[in-house]
Structure 1
Amino acid sequence: MEEKFLKVTQEGHFFDKHESVLIAVSGGNDSMNLAHILYKYQAFLGIRIGIAHVNHQQRSESIAEEVFVKNWAEKRGLPFHVSYFEGKFSEEAARKMRYEFFATIMRDYQYTALVTAHHAGDQAETIFMRLIRGSRFMHMSGIKSVQPFATGELIRPLLSFKKEELLEVEHMEDRSNSSPIYLRNRVRNDYIPMLEKENPQFTHTLLNLGREAEILYQAVIELTRPIDITDVTVFQAQSQAVRYILLQQYVEQFPELQLTRNQFEQLLTILETKANYHHHLKGDYYLVKDYQHFAITKIQPKTDRQAEQYVIESEGVFQYGSFIFSLNKPLEQATQILYLQANKPVILRGRRAGDRILLNSLHKKIRRYFIDEKVPKKVRDEAVLIEQDGKIYGIANMAISDLSKSLKNDIIKATLYIKMKE
């Protein structure tokens, strides 16, 4: 086993760029195998190791396991880091807490790699669990041997090892591994053994599925790399199958998003059929789409879009939103000029439901004007309307109402000059 381990780590170049390595150790047989072999060959591999342990405080044996791992580390002069789970326990909450703890230790103590003891059995179980949960095909690749994590990498050097290949080393037995409360235990102890009666190679078949899924997905990434996924025109020009894969690739950039299959299908439909769109996806994530581009983004604080209106009651230069306004004083490089009634207040404000503007002798809803003119959603949200006497005289740098045009030749009128802020 040790000879195979060294061969796998060297061929995989797992530790070539790492000197300080943190090992996640629970005290069970798998993690103690990993700790044992990395301690024994750390000089050969050119690394220094530290031990990280999480006490989940859910079983009476938890204290004994912590003491066991701590004594093992201290006996060998290895740094020992421990943390304790608090709050309502669940598998997901515990997993999140563990990896947050590992990331903190890596950052605070300058470790560049976290190493965990996942083996081939864990890999097969993970793939099967993802099948049960209805994960998308791209996730059938299972656990990766090396992936970015925290301030460095997460490495799983035992993924090619079956559990029966591991050494007999001193360890603690975790009785919760036989509890049917947890899905992974049911998969490991019930579901897979039952299916292996039908196909003795079932575990091997799962591993092959994972490898083929990973190879296929990597090939797709390489073939579609030149495509600008977020360019709406380019995206919609692809076949339905290619759009599906492109969107999967894009969504993978947001690991916290975790869309269900139905949510993903809804997102795809929006991108295929909708024009300007602002859609809440999940949590803090939104889809923002206009006629040119789309993006998934966390909700952003409002910029300079004004929540309150601004009233101009005298001549001068004023700023509102993204624009500079000047009443009755010519503005250098003005991009729009509106004619208004003299001696009456001018209101600058954002758009409201039901707003209308008189264009070409027709009263048109501003919402419909934006749609017809294909105005991007961000521009719509930041649009500034110029109102006087309850009527819309213009939209800054976009539209001029017939009301303004009719005043152009009047002797008694006010003139509003507009330009974008630099």
Structure 2
Amino acid sequence: MRKAVESFVKKNQLLHKGATVLVGVSGGPDSMALLHVLNSLQKTWQLRLIALSVDHGLRGDQSKQDVAYVRDMCSKWNIECNETYVDVRTYKEKEGKGTQVAARELRYKYFQDQMEVWKADYLALGHHGDDQVETIMMRLAQRTDPASLTGIPIQRTFANGRLIRPLLCVNKEEIEAYCREQHIEPRRDPSNQEDVYTRNYIRLHILPLLKQMNPSLSVTVQKLTERIADDEDYLLEEAKKVLDEAVIFERNTIRSSINIEKFGQFPIALQRRAYHLILNYLYRSVPKDLSYIQEEQLFELIENRPNKTIHLPGGLIAVKAYDRVNLYFQSELEQSEQTSYSYSLPVPGRVILPDGSMMKGEVVGNATPKGNDKFVCDPQSVELPIHIRTRKLGDKIRLKGLNGSRKLKDIFIDEKIPLAERDTWPVVTDATGTILWLPGLKKSSIERANDSLSTEYLQLEYIKNSSM
């Protein structure tokens, strides 16, 4: 087994000579075998080994005896050893988490702290090939995301160094055999024989059946996860191009907007991965109850259905608005619904709107407005001060070249303005309440420029926040 592990370490560049390596050691067969193998490589690789052992306080004297055993074996093998106690019961009650999750979080927090204390290069853990198979079986039963089939990573960034798993190339039987050969008598956790936990059930009941069909199952699965990981790395980089081309992430809020036409130009495999990248951006932690069902709903929204809203876990909303799908949280929607405003614009002067956009007012001697970002009129045709506000029920504007008035609601619909944006769109009026301008959209018939009867003009300019 030692040769297989060293070969695996070299192939995947898990260690370098002269490294400081922390080893998580519980006293069980896996971690004791790992510690022994690394100790046998110590001289060749010029390693400094430091064993870390954690008493989770869950099994009374047995937990204490496990730590004492690790301490004694480290003394026998001339390995430095650090130990700690963590109060899992108190932590899990305070945080409302399960026992295993709470224990893992406290254990890894200790590992992280020790990486920094010792300025270590690596943290080595004893996960093996059968652990990999169990993980894949669990994820097959729970998820549909192909990336989940990459399994337990061989190595990853951790604290100020790398977390490595040198035993992923061997299975449980090989580890047990190694312990017998080296006369290691590890500690045993009785809870590992209880099938109340999903992982234990798979280990005790499903894994033996699969191994009857394929004795080299752990090797097969490890090769599979490595290939999937390579494929996913490439596809993930390609999916990031989808985000660059077709998705806008707003800087000031946790919102995103998908351009349906551009998004649809990419292969579905990249669209799906881009979808998961969007979720990783929006959620602090992607909910476990987010499944393929919501994914299918979102893609149906993009491909077929008219303007519609779907609700995702954690209060996330996806709204199709004409050529876009906007994603944001219910709390933001409620906040935007309450965000009405009204400002007076001094002339000359400027006003900053809630979204960071700006409205400027000034009197100029010559003006030829182009586009809908400027509005110019004879100062005598309006009554100051100018007001900028959000829309009101029944608002109408008399448009240039149109007999009669038009409802703002109808203009928003014609211009395909998403529903979430209509209630915060700026409406410019004079002191009498006459609507002069919908910046970026429509101007009233009051607008005039370079009229020979006028020597000066009132000019309003709307400068939209570039981050929006």
Question: TM-score with structure 2 length normalisation?
Answer: 0.71
Residue 114 of structure 2: aligned partner? 105
Q: Deviations over 1:352-394 (max 9, x none)?
A: 6776544445755656645644568998787432234455322
What is the 5 A alignment of 1:301-316? 307=339, 309-312=341-344, 315-316=347-348
State whether structure 2 residue 70 is matched by structure 1 residue 69: yes
User: Deviation of residue 236 (structure 1)?
Assistant: 1.0
Residue 192 of structure 1: aligned partner? 207
User: Deviation of residue 58 (structure 1)?
Assistant: 2.1
User: Deviation of residue 179 (structure 1)?
Assistant: 1.3
For the structure 1 residues 99 and 308, does the alpha-carbon distance in structure 2 shift closer, same or farther, using more than 3 Å as the test?
same
**Which is worse superposed, 218-227 or 156-165?**
218-227
State whether structure 2 residue 420 is matched by structure 1 residue 385: no
Residue 387 of structure 2: aligned partner? 347
* Partners of 1:342 and 1:414 within 8 A in 2: no
Name the CA distance, whole Å, in 1 between partners of 2:367 and 2:47. 66
For the structure 1 residues 320 and 141, does the alpha-carbon distance in structure 2 shift closer, same or farther, using more than 3 Å as the test?
closer
Q: Deviations over 1:239-258 (max 9, x none)?
A: 44553355456657779325
The unaligned stretches of length 5 or more in structure 2 are 247-258
Q: 1:91 aligns with which of 82, 88, 100?
A: 100
Q: Deviations over 1:209-262 (max 9, x none)?
A: 535534554564577786666524443113445533554566577793254222
Name the CA distance, whole Å, in 2 between partners of 1:313 and 1:252. 41
**Which is worse superposed, 364-373 or 257-266?**
364-373
State whether structure 2 residue 84 is matched by structure 1 residue 82: yes
User: Deviation of residue 163 (structure 1)?
Assistant: 1.3
User: Deviation of residue 272 (structure 1)?
Assistant: 4.2
Residue 117 of structure 1: aligned partner? 126
* Partners of 1:286 and 1:298 within 8 A in 2: yes
Percent identity for Structure 1 against Structure 2? 25
Residue 15 of structure 2: aligned partner? 15
User: Deviation of residue 122 (structure 1)?
Assistant: 0.2
Name the CA distance, whole Å, in 2 between partners of 1:374 and 1:165. 65
Residue 253 of structure 2: aligned partner? none
State whether structure 2 residue 211 is matched by structure 1 residue 183: no
Q: 2:296 aligns with which of 261, 265, 271?
A: 265
* Partners of 1:385 and 1:392 within 8 A in 2: yes
**Which is worse superposed, 43-52 or 69-78?**
69-78
For the structure 1 residues 158 and 397, does the alpha-carbon distance in structure 2 shift closer, same or farther, using more than 3 Å as the test?
same
SS of 1:64's partner is helix
For the structure 1 residues 53 and 268, does the alpha-carbon distance in structure 2 shift closer, same or farther, using more than 3 Å as the test?
farther
**Which is worse superposed, 210-219 or 288-297?**
288-297
Q: Deviations over 1:79-108 (max 9, x none)?
A: 525351322333334334433443343345
User: Deviation of residue 338 (structure 1)?
Assistant: 4.8
Paired residue type of 1:41: L
What is the 5 A alignment of 1:128-147? 128-147=137-156
| Count of residues in correspondence between the two structures | 420
* Partners of 2:25 and 2:53 within 8 A in 1: yes
Name the CA distance, whole Å, in 1 between partners of 2:444 and 2:275. 41
Name the CA distance, whole Å, in 2 between partners of 1:288 and 1:73. 59
User: Deviation of residue 8 (structure 1)?
Assistant: 1.7
Residue 438 of structure 2: aligned partner? 395
Q: Deviations over 1:126-184 (max 9, x none)?
A: 11111121342332231121223333322111101111222212432111111122111
* Partners of 2:26 and 2:70 within 8 A in 1: yes
**Which is worse superposed, 312-321 or 8-17?**
312-321
Name the CA distance, whole Å, in 1 between partners of 2:315 and 2:43. 46
* Partners of 2:398 and 2:405 within 8 A in 1: yes
* Partners of 1:346 and 1:387 within 8 A in 2: yes
For the structure 1 residues 285 and 351, does the alpha-carbon distance in structure 2 shift closer, same or farther, using more than 3 Å as the test?
same
For the structure 1 residues 400 and 353, does the alpha-carbon distance in structure 2 shift closer, same or farther, using more than 3 Å as the test?
same
The structure with the greater share of residues assigned to helix is 2
Residue 319 of structure 1: aligned partner? 351
Name the CA distance, whole Å, in 2 between partners of 1:213 and 1:176. 32
For the structure 1 residues 306 and 181, does the alpha-carbon distance in structure 2 shift closer, same or farther, using more than 3 Å as the test?
closer
* Partners of 2:306 and 2:320 within 8 A in 1: yes
**Which is worse superposed, 231-240 or 216-225?**
216-225
**Which is worse superposed, 126-135 or 43-52?**
43-52
Paired residue type of 1:318: R
User: Deviation of residue 41 (structure 1)?
Assistant: 2.1
What is the 5 A alignment of 1:111-260? 111-166=120-175, 167-168=178-179, 169-196=184-211, 206-207=221-222, 209-214=224-229, 216-218=231-233, 220=235, 230-231=245-246, 232=259, 233-248=261-276, 256-258=285-287, 259-260=290-291
**Which is worse superposed, 232-241 or 275-284?**
275-284
**CA-atom RMSD in angstroms:** 4.7
Question: TM-score with structure 1 length normalisation?
Answer: 0.77
For the structure 1 residues 68 and 280, does the alpha-carbon distance in structure 2 shift closer, same or farther, using more than 3 Å as the test?
farther
For the structure 1 residues 44 and 200, does the alpha-carbon distance in structure 2 shift closer, same or farther, using more than 3 Å as the test?
closer
Paired residue type of 2:458: T
The unaligned stretches of length 5 or more in structure 1 are none
For the structure 1 residues 385 and 201, does the alpha-carbon distance in structure 2 shift closer, same or farther, using more than 3 Å as the test?
same
Name the CA distance, whole Å, in 2 between partners of 1:357 and 1:54. 72
Name the CA distance, whole Å, in 2 between partners of 1:418 and 1:366. 20
